[in-house]
Amino acid sequence: MVAAPMLKSARAATTSADDPLGIRADFPLLKTTNFLNTAYHAVSPNQVVEAGVKFYQDRANPADGIGPFLAEGRQVRAKFANLIGAEHGEIGLIHATTEAENIVAGNLDLKAGDNVVTDDLQYNASFVLYDHYAKTKGVEVRIVKRDENGRTRLEDFEKLVDDKTRILSVSWVSHENGLQHDLKSLSDLAHSHSAYIYVDAIQGVGMLEMNVKKAGIDFMGCGTYKWLLSSYGAAFFYVRKELQELIRADRRGMFSVTDSEKQVDFLSYPDAAKYGYATPAFGAISVVGVALDYIERIGVGNIEAHTVPLAHMMRENLVNIGLKTDTPEGNRSSFLTYFHGKDPAKVKALYDAENIKLTYKHGGTKIRVGASLFNNQSDIDHFSAVSAKIPLL
């Protein structure tokens, strides 16, 4: 694939030094493609790809045991803990973000009369989970609606959270429109009613700075194939230390106990390691370990400072050409969504012709676009120039 004409033109109009974080060479895809789709899944840098290749090359001559893989898993848990301001023992390794919320909900003995509060910006899997509890246990599911600007307000959560609320469930950054929730205000609200807060963080960690202690989070799930630049099959589960006796492991296996070389009287790990029960996805874990090192070297603060302004620029350009966005102005995340009001097939063909990668939502009527750590000014100029053709379709 060769770079599209307008992409070449946009890059020619910028300086050759348009690489603020000094990393674009690590992403060969950028030579031909304007990738603005990290909110769907990441482009991994060469270093991460090489780690994956090395792992599978080693399968051609396997090691005598898996001890080194298990040790690497402990190191990766520690790296992620450092990234989000947690204690090492508060991080478990699971397989997917949604698994975390299932474990939490399954431990809270939800019953008729209880309620769960979320908002209409939460990820669909949470709605599926709580619909199950509504149908099987009589739990009430309360959903805060976003306003006309795409924002859910604290006062609307306050109207729905009460002393019967067991879980307040939100995405830190919404997949639906990129809204960054104020987690501290929401956690304070939940705790004031003796409820717990669960956070889906897959759309934020690696893009924005996070400190789970300052945010007051109880539980958090985070996959690794978006802003953590990795792949599928490995995810992190944060459980606040004080709540680990409450949140029991929902499955048992040889990797959930301290000594599996016997037949009776097993002891579970005393920390979040207990949530891993069977052979994990060692390859995915190895890959994310390298990705975490890569992100640490660059600095999440630097990534946030670089990408959020690019997202603001895209939003402003879309509004200026008359397109409607449901991402609030000034929102602090690296992606946004907008409506084009035209034939979805024609709009997709327009972007495809210029090798621009985006997410098409709701039958293609709505588009999600985001700036990752490797994107630069020429990428934004190119996207904006192509988008300016939409009103003419």
SS3 per-residue string spanning the chain:
CCCCHHHHHHHHCCCCCCCCCCCHHHCHHHHCCEECCCCCCCCCCHHHHHHHHHHHHHCCCCCCCCHHHHHHHHHHHHHHHHHHCCCHHHEEEECCHHHHHHHHHHHCCCCCCCEEEEECCCCHHHHHHHHHHHHHHCCEEEEECCCCCCCCCHHHHHHHCCCCEEEEEEECECCCCCCECCHHHHHHHHHHCCCEEEEECCCCECCECCCHHHHCCCEEEEECCCCCCCCCCCEEEEECHHHCCCCCCCCCCHHHECCCCCCCCCCECCCHHHHCCCCCCHHHHHHHHHHHHHHHHHCHHHHHHHHHHHHHHHHHHHHHCCCEECCCCCCCCCEEEEECCCCHHHHHHHHHHCCEECEEECCCCEEEEECCCCCCHHHHHHHHHHHCCHHHC
Please check whether residue 220 is in contact with residue 199, taking contact to mean a CB–CB distance below 8 angstroms. yes
Averaged pLDDT score across all residues of the chain: 95
* Residue of 28 and 278 predicted with greater confidence: 28
Per-residue pLDDT band at 268 (split at 50, 70, 90): confident
Q: Give the relative orientation of helices 5-12 and 377-387 as an angle to the nearest 10 degrees.
A: 130
Cα angle, residue 192 at apex, residues 187 and 194 outer, rounded to 5°: 90
Instruction: Say yes or no to pLDDT of 16 above 60.
Output: no
Beta-sheet pairing, 115-119 with 324-325: unpaired
d(CA 380, CA 370): 10
Most confident of 65-74, 159-168, 252-261: 159-168
Instruction: Say yes or no to pLDDT of 26 above 80.
Output: yes
Instruction: Say yes or no to pLDDT of 12 above 80.
Output: no
Instruction: Say yes or no to pLDDT of 263 above 90.
Output: no
**Non-local CB neighbours of 271 within 8 Å, separated by 6+ positions:** 89, 90, 241, 244
Instruction: Say yes or no to pLDDT of 245 above 90.
Output: yes
* Residue of 18 and 102 predicted with greater confidence: 102
Instruction: Say yes or no to pLDDT of 193 above 90.
Output: yes
* Residue of 19 and 258 predicted with greater confidence: 19
Per-residue pLDDT band at 17 (split at 50, 70, 90): low
The pLDDT assigned to 252 comes to 84
* Residue of 220 and 256 predicted with greater confidence: 220
| Average pLDDT value for residue range 282-308 | 97
The pLDDT assigned to 136 comes to 98
pTM of the model: 0.95
The pLDDT assigned to 259 comes to 80
pLDDT tens digits, one per residue of 113-154: 999 999 999 999 999 999 999 999 999 999 999 999 999 999
The pLDDT assigned to 331 comes to 97
What percentage of the chain carries pLDDT values higher than 70? 99
Structural domains present in the chain: 5-44+300-392 (3.90.1150.10), 63-297 (3.40.640.10)
Please check whether residue 42 is in contact with residue 230, taking contact to mean a CB–CB distance below 8 angstroms. yes
